[in-house]
Each structure stands twice: as C-alpha cells, then as structure tokens.
Chains A and B, each alone.
Chain A
Amino acid sequence: MASESHKTDKERFEEEVLQFLNGLYGYALHLTRNPEDACDLVQETYARAFKAWKQYTLGTNAKAWLFAILRNTFLNQRRSTKRRPTEVPCDWVDELPREDVPQLLRFGPDPYDKFLNDLLAENIEEGLALLPETFRSAVVLCDVEGFSYKEIAEILDIPIGTVRSRIHRGRARLRELLEKWYLEGEGELGS
C-alpha cells in the first residue's frame, strides 16, 4: 500500500471520489429516470472529474464538486440532444401555501406512520418525476444526500434563498402528491 506522500493521482482519485459513486448514481437516476442513461452520465462525470483532478484542490468539498459536474453534464447533454423531460406545468408553485401544516396534521401520528410505512420507492420516484428539475434536485440533494443549503446553492448555481424556497415547495408538493394518491387509493399505494 502506498504511503500518503507516495500515492499516485489514480490512487488519490479512487480513494477520495469513488466513495460518492452510490450517491451520484442515485442522483443520476433521478435526473435521467433511466438506469442505462444514469450509468452513462456517471461514467462521463467521473471521466471529466479525472481530467480535472490535477487542478482540484485538496480540502475543497469533493462531494459537492462531483455532484455539480454531474448536473452540469446532464444539462449540457440535454441541451445538445434537445431532449426535454416530461414535466407538469409549474402552476402549482404559486398556488402552494407558505407552509403546509394542515397536511402534516391531517393524518395524526398513527395513520401518518402507516402512510409512511406504505410508501414505496416507486411512489416517491413517480412523485419526484412530476417536479421541475430544479425542485427535484433541491429535494434530492437535501433530503437524500444530506447537502447543506449552501452546498446545494453551489451545485445548482442559484442563491441560497432560492434553494430554501425550492426545498420547501418541492417537499410540500411531493408530499401533497403522495398523500393524494394514498387517500384516493383508500389507504393503498400502487407501485
């Protein structure tokens, strides 16, 4: 095993950035909604990251750096292929209440636990897919990947206030959709 000072670029790269592979793959899946495209996107992300690795400064946030590369790569590919994902119109954004406490209290604690336990990954993915990309990204980066608002602002290249608003509204909309499907299904969620 190489000592710290004798590690090659490849060894440092593998050690410091491959640890984020699972998270990057998950985020890529949310962006592309297709496992094959997600794999291609992650591979391209790592190829770009490896090329830029020598300019990368140790001690900076490698995880946020990689997620930003992945998202920029995705946006560039989408632009170049002129493929746009199917997204619902965003009229709901302005209609959302400032906070969504009534929904949170609608079930009470025990039925709410049942609702949460009945949720499937497919339900959440379907709900997220109906959010505009920036809202989906903000929610996934915060709630799944655990990034701070500041890190998300850097990854998405938007102000922190906008991140906050997208997380609030994206979460509220996602939960609203899931609860609606749950109540319509009389306590069942289809996969």
Chain B
Amino acid sequence: MSCSFVRDNLHDFVSGELNSSDAERIENHLQSCESCRACVSNMHGFRSRVRNLLKMTAPQELRDSILMKTSE
C-alpha cells in the first residue's frame, strides 16, 4: 500500500464510495502515514464545513403553501 493509492482514491474514500477492502487498506495506511492522514483529515474537514454551512431551512410560508395546494 502506497501513498499514491490513498491520493488516487481520496475523493471516493471520503465520500464513502470505496469498497470495504480498499477502504480498510487506506485506514491501515493512515495509522502510520502522517502526510496522508493530514490530507484525509483536511478533505473530511472541508466536506463537513461545506455541509454545515449550506444546510438550509425552507421558509415556513413555502411549507404552508405546499400543504395548502395538496389540500385543494
């Protein structure tokens, strides 16, 4: 297992889209590679920040209006 395998599969790994055996290989590698650990951690941090900042709440009027229309 090399750093290049982690880096080639970084996006799929953080998206949870790698098969379990490849994900496990990466997890094992991260235990001993500080550089790859930092890459993965930064990518996880970025995704999580984007998700938290972009979560929206729909206006109550929109909810009310949809409910009203489905009642017609």
Q: A residues engaging B (CB < 8 A)?
A: 10, 13-14, 18, 21-26, 29-30, 35, 39, 42-43, 46-47, 50, 98-99, 101, 104-105, 107-109, 112-113, 116-117, 119-121, 124-125, 139-140, 142-144, 146, 148-149, 164, 167-168, 171, 174-175
How many contacting A-B pairs (Cβ < 8 A)?
Answer: 108
Look across to chain A and name the residue whose beta carbon is closest to the beta carbon of B39: A104
Q: How close is A51's CB to chain B, nearest CB, in angstroms?
A: 10
Binding site for A on B (CB under 8 A): 7-8, 10-12, 15-17, 35, 38-39, 41-43, 45-47, 49-51, 53-59, 61-63, 65-67, 69-71
A-B contact pairs, 5 of them (CB 8 A): A13-B70, A42-B62, A50-B70, A104-B39, A171-B47
Give the dominant DSSP class at A's interface. helix
| Shortest Cβ distance from A139 into B: residue | B50
Complex Cα gap A143–B70 (Å): 31
Q: Are A124 and B54 in contact, CB atoms less than 8 angstroms apart?
A: yes
Nearest A residue to B34, CB-CB: A109
Say whether A26 contacts B56, CB under 8 Å: yes
**Which residues of the partner chain A approach B41 to less than 8 Å between Cβ atoms?**
109
Known contacts A26-B55, A39-B61, A124-B54; 20 further A-B pairs (Cβ under 8 A): A13-B70, A14-B70, A18-B66, A18-B67, A21-B62, A21-B63, A22-B57, A25-B58, A29-B56, A101-B39, A105-B38, A109-B38, A112-B42, A116-B45, A120-B53, A125-B54, A148-B16, A149-B15, A167-B11, A171-B47
Highest count of chain B CB atoms <10 Å: which of A21, A101, A174: A101
Contact B54 A148 (CB under 8 A): no
Query: With A10-B71, A26-B56 known to touch, is A46 a contact of B11 (CB < 8 Å)?
Result: no
- B55 touches which one: A35, A144, A171 (CB < 8 A)? A144
Bound-state CA distance A167–B11 (Å) is 8
Contact in complex: A22, B15 (CB < 8 Å) = no
